[in-house]
A and B are shown apart, each in its own frame.
Chain A
Amino acid sequence: MADPVKLYGTVLSAYVCRAKIALNMKGIKYENIEEDLSNKSADLLKYNPVHKKVPVLVHNGNPISESLVIVEYIDDVWKGVPILPQDPYERAVARFLAKFIDEKCIPVIKAVGSNGDEQSIAEACEQLQILENELKVKGTKFFGGDNIGLVDIAADFIAYWHAIREEAAGIKFFTADKFPKLTKWADDFVNCQVVKSTLPPREHMLAFYMKFFGKANDEESYRSDVDQLGNGSNVDQHQW
């Protein structure tokens, strides 16, 4: 009998997608529960009382929160296609890069916003260069090797959301001539079978970002949309 798996999330969130990609890699069927983060369900608050955020994976009634913790849990529970390497040193490197992406890379990239000041663009490019170099040195299609792994999943925002955000903000610094390997990687990543179905429709995401950067007229609906990204009620531009 299959153990019930539920995923609480929102369709726009890159963090929620991480969990979906991991579940797809293992071929796990799950119930997808779409949350309205401006009106969080009693279940979400029960399952993630500390952070009250998505994604939350519930397996056999047990909740797991924090997207990268969820991805590692999925890898620990279900065998099949490995998400992390077997070797302890390689695992440590993968975890390091995933953490770097989450805590340094993504925030710095998001900080560019729609101002596009030179300093923040330079910092963002510096972080992207680290990932570019990593791919160069590895010489493989993905950070995980021939198949996607933890680091690719952690970088999902960079592969898909970032380009849409750039278009909405009107500022492009993630270019193919500056980052040839990363550009190819992003294209390969979003075209993976296990990734494709998890991504929110481009127009939907673009419309959201347009509103977010104040380039649309509809202030009010944008505020509730912001909550849908899965990072709480903070409308600070640097969050998205």
Chain B
Amino acid sequence: MAGSEVVLLDTWISLFGMRVRIALAEKDVHFERREEDLTNKSSLLLQMNPVHKKVPVLIHDGKPICESNIIVQYIDETWQNNSPPLLPSDPYLKAQARFWADFIDKKIYDAGTRIWRRKGEEQEIAKKEFMDWMKVLEGQLGENSYLMGKSFGYVDIAMVPFYCWFYALEKIGNISIEKEFPKLVAWAKRCMERESVSKTLPDPHKVYEYALELMKKIG
């Protein structure tokens, strides 16, 4: 797709933006990244995502695509001649991949976010839920190298950005993710060996500082 213009509206801390950056890097697609200030959203962002007004937004030849998992599927379908394929070609495995990406959003990201956003009883509940769902995900990983088996793809992209939050969650939630889920942490480190991932994920210490700042503001 030589000559097509690809712009990504994003923020450095957005897990959802990281998914898109990883997918674009995997497909070796050149793009321009624009850092948004979500306290002062650009008119471009508001125009391109009027429904949710959120990042990430991929703008391809002037047309916006929103919602990170949907963007990743779009990238896979549009640059289908660029390897690697991000989703399996078999319909059943594709459905499984979509199921797990949906699970990661609805269960793991949701509970994980509540660990640092809530306090007291609510935080304890979030911690328990997070651990339960991580256990399910580790079950899905099994003895495989990646979440859908032998190859890195869509589900790994959906989950791996959360790895940069593990340190913050451990400090804030007083949990040990590496101890409880050694296979998942080994999987994450394996993913980090890919340049697309290691160049995208921010330093976990920066993420922790960011969380502490936000927690102060929330009060």
Contacts and interface: CB of A to CB of B under 8 A. Distances in A.
Interface of A: 50, 59, 62, 64-66, 69-70, 72-73, 76-77, 88-89, 91-93, 95-96, 99-100, 104, 130
A37 to B, nearest CB: 19
A225 to B, nearest CB: 25
A89 B91 contact: no
Contact of A95 (B73, B94, B99): B73
B70 interface: yes
Interface string B75-106: 00110000000000001101110110011000
A151 B66 CA distance: 16
B191 interface: no
Given A88-B77, A92-B65, A50 B92 contact: no
A73 B74 contact: no
Main secondary structure of the interface of B (DSSP, over half): helix
B74 A88 contact: yes
23 contacts: A50-B103, A62-B92, A64-B96, A66-B98, A66-B99, A66-B102, A70-B95, A73-B92, A73-B94, A76-B91, A76-B94, A76-B95, A88-B77, A89-B63, A89-B65, A91-B73, A92-B70, A92-B73, A92-B74, A99-B70, A100-B51, A104-B51, A104-B52
A96 B66 contact: yes
Main secondary structure of the interface of A (DSSP, over half): helix
A50 B136 contact: yes
Q: What class of interface size applies to chain B in its complex with A?
A: 20 to 34
Interface of B: 51-52, 60, 63, 65-67, 70-71, 73-74, 77-78, 91-92, 94-96, 98-99, 102-103, 136
Contacts of A76: 91, 94-95
A64 B94 CA distance: 10
A100 B52 CA distance: 9
Contacts of B77: 88, 91
Nearest to A93: B65
A7 B213 CA distance: 49
